[in-house]
Chain A
Amino acid sequence: NAGVTQTPKFRILKIGQSMTLQCAQDMNHNYMYWYRQDPGMGLKLIYYSVGAGITDKGEVPNGYNVSRSTTEDFPLRLELAAPSQTSVYFCASSRTQSGELFFGEGSRLTVL
């Protein structure tokens, strides 16, 4: 099993550009999450999904959008990139609501 796969690993964007961070998991997990990690700030939840077709906001959703059309995929969309969105983004999944989170290896995004 590949687990949770994120692409791209690195990306540089200009202010105002848009992009999508891809996330796929092959563990048949219902729950999927997007976190951002800023230095010294831990992990902040952006959006999460409890199953295909269902998404909800986390702590820091502004400037992002998600969709969940399949169990496997949970892409994160940045519509108008801003320097404040420079961060490392992690996708995660869990089998149950209280289960272990399985993280991808992260996507480092820089907005200049």
Chain B
Amino acid sequence: GENVEQHPSTLSVQEGDSAVIKCTYSDSASNYFPWYKQELGKGPQLIIDIRSNVGEKKDQRIAVTLNKTAKHFSLHITETQPEDSAVYFCAAKDEIKAAGNKLTFGGGTRVLVKP
């Protein structure tokens, strides 16, 4: 089955700096890659996703890049703000094969933005 590795496990950045989180996946058939943000005491929430027919997607201060050849994808947060402090999860899925929206999640990255 799919295996998703996420690095780093913790990331501390100064407010205003950029943060980058990287994930690698094992199943070359995976074609859907969402990112979820989990704030303290809450459930994860989708912040951005990308499918394998594009290499990059942006939404204001966040962007995701995908390298299908190398089987890795990354989340980029620019101009970080204190409200970006949270745990971020990457995930992967083969939309054709995986029934029922079964995502494989990475281990999570705890991001701390220091004011």
Number of interface residues of B (CB under 8 A): 26
Residue-wise interface mask of B (22-50) relative to A, using a CB-CB cutoff of 8 A (1 in contact, 0 not):
00000000001010100001111110010
Residues on A with C-beta less than 8 A from B42 are: 105-106
Q: List 15 A-B contacts (CB under 8 A).
A: A31-B100, A40-B9, A42-B89, A42-B105, A45-B102, A48-B102, A59-B1, A90-B43, A97-B101, A98-B32, A98-B101, A99-B101, A101-B46, A105-B41, A105-B42
- Whether A24 sits at the interface, judged by CB under 8 Å, is no
- Whether B6 sits at the interface, judged by CB under 8 Å, is yes
Residues on B with C-beta less than 8 A from A74 are: none
Residue in A40, A42, A44, A50 whose CB lies within 8 Å of B100: A50
Residues on A with C-beta less than 8 A from B6 are: 42
Residues on A with C-beta less than 8 A from B45 are: 103
Q: Could you tell me if B46 and A48 are in contact, using CB atoms closer than 8 angstroms?
A: no
Taking beta carbons and an 8 Å cutoff, which residues of A are in contact with B?
4, 31, 33, 40-45, 48-50, 56, 58-59, 90, 92, 94, 96-101, 103-106
Residues on A with C-beta less than 8 A from B101 are: 31, 33, 48, 94, 96-99, 101
Q: How far is the CA of A45 from the CA of B4 in the complex (A)?
A: 14
Q: How far is the CA of A17 from the CA of B41 in the complex (A)?
A: 26
In order of increasing CB-CB distance, the 9 nearest A-B pairs are A103-B43, A42-B105, A43-B105, A42-B107, A100-B46, A48-B100, A97-B101, A50-B100, A103-B44
- Whether B99 sits at the interface, judged by CB under 8 Å, is yes
